[in-house]
Amino acid sequence: MRIVTSRGRRTRGLGPLAAVLVAWSAFACAGSPSPMRPGSEPASQLANLGWLLTIVGSIVIVIIAVLLLVPGIRGWRAGRAGAIPPVHSGDGERWIVIGGIAIPLVILIGVFAVTAATLSKTSHPPTRARFMIEITGRQWWWEVRYPSPDPQQTFVTANEIHIPVGEPIALRVKSADVIHSFWVPQLQGKIDVIPGQTNTFWIRADSAGVYRGQCAEYCGIQHAHMALQVVAQPRAQFESWVAQQRAPAPAPTDSLASAGRDAFEHQACALCHAIQGTGAHGKMGPDLTHVASRLMLAAGTIPNTPGHLAGWIMNSQTIKPGNDMPQMYLDGASLHAITAYLATLH
C-alpha cells in the first residue's frame, strides 16, 4: 500500500502494517478458545450470528465512509476550480429520511430478528439434559460439584469439567463472592455468575476434546487467570472418570508419600483443602482428592507437573498474586514429601 503526500513523496510503511494486522486478526480467530471455531451446534449458531453482525457492520461502515468522502472530494475539486457546487432543493431532506431513518430501521429490525431467533435456539437444549453440574465461581477459581440423589455419590472437583460427548448437560451457576461470568467460547455463550442468585444454563460438545473456558466478567486482579477446562469424552470414558472421582483418595504406597500425607494433615494445608478419606476437611480452597488427575493448576494458570506444584505450594503469591493461599513456610523435606503425596492422587 502506498500513500502519496502533498509534496509528492511516497510512504511505504502502511503495507507491512496492514499485513501484520490481517495476520494478527486471523491468528486471534483461529486459536483456541476462539468462538469462531465452534465445537457444538449452539456455538456454531452463535458464530454464524457473529459473522453476520460483522459483515453487516462492515458494509455499513464502508457505505458511510463513501457517503462522507464523495461530497468532500467534490467540494475540494470545486474549490480548487473556483466553482460553487450546485445545491439541489430537497435532496438533503430526502437522503436524511432514506439514509438516516429508513435504511437503518430496516437493518436494525433484521439484525434484531436474527439475534432473537438465535438466542431462542441456543437458550434451551433440544432434548432434556441427562444430569446437572453445579458450578460456583470464586476469586479466582471454579468449584465444580457433581450432585447425586445419594450424598455418598456426590463429588467435588475444581477448574475442570468432564462431560460426555454429544449430550446436553445442564449447569447451575452461582458466585461465592463477586460477579463472575462463565464462558466456554467453543461450546456456548456466556452466563452471568451473580452472588445471591443461581442461574441455569447448558452446554454440549459434539466432538471429544479439551475446551478452554474463561471468566468473562472482571472480578479482581487475577480475573485473567480464572480459567477452566471442559473435557468432552465418549460416554464409557466419562463413566470411568466419574467412578474414579467418587472414590476416596488412594492410600500412599511408599514411605515418602505416607510422610507427605501426614505432613499435609498437620500443616495449614488441611485447614483450607479437603482430601476425601483423610483428616483434611477444609472448605476454603479447592478439593484435592484427585488433584493429580487434573490437567492444570491454579485455575488454568500453570501445568500440573511436580515442579509447578511444588512452586505453587511453597509460594503461590509469586505465581498468582492476591489469591487467598498464603505463603507456606515448609522445610525442604516436608515440601518434597507433600508434593510426592499429592502427585499420587489420581
Note the pLDDT tens digit of each residue in 262-307: 999 988 899 999 999 999 999 999 999 999 999 999 999 999 999 9
Burial of residue 91, with CB atoms counted within 10 A of its CB: 0-12 exposed, 13-18 middle, 19 or more buried: exposed
255-342, what's its fold? Answer: Immunoglobulin-like (2.60.40)
pLDDT on residue 10? 43
Amino acid symbol at 41: E
CATH of span 132-234: 2.60.40.420
Element housing 47 (H / E): helix 41-81
pLDDT on residue 18? 47
Lowest average pLDDT, out of 11-20, 25-34, 77-86, 214-223, goes to: 11-20
Give the C-alpha separation, 305 to 282, whole Å.
Answer: 23
157 three-state secondary structure = strand
Note the pLDDT tens digit of each residue in 78-107: 777 666 656 555 566 777 777 778 888 899
Whether 341 has a pLDDT exceeding 90, the answer reads yes
**Grid coordinates given for 226:** 480464572
Query: Structure pTM?
Result: 0.81
Lowest average pLDDT, out of 86-95, 210-219, 222-231, goes to: 86-95
Helices 306-314 and 332-342, packing angle to 10 deg: 130
pLDDT on residue 25? 53
**Common-topology check for domains 132-234 and 255-342:** yes
- Exposure letters 263-273 (e unless 16+ CB within 10 A, then b): bbeebebbebb
Domain range annotation of the chain: 15-123, 132-234, 255-342
Average pLDDT over residues 245-257: 93
Residue 231, CA distances (Å) to 30, 159, 162, 164 in order: 20, 11, 5, 8
Residues 229 and 212 sit within 8 Å (Cβ to Cβ): yes
Helices 41-81 and 103-123, packing angle to 10 deg: 160
- Exposure letters 192-201 (e unless 16+ CB within 10 A, then b): bbbeeeeeeb
Burial of residue 186, with CB atoms counted within 10 A of its CB: 0-12 exposed, 13-18 middle, 19 or more buried: buried
Lowest average pLDDT, out of 4-8, 13-17, 44-48, 120-124, goes to: 4-8
Average pLDDT score, the chain: 86
pLDDT on residue 243? 95
Give the C-alpha separation, 309 to 307, whole Å.
Answer: 5
Top-confidence residue, 96 or 14: 96
Whether 26 has a pLDDT exceeding 70, the answer reads no
Give the C-alpha separation, 258 to 253, whole Å.
Answer: 7
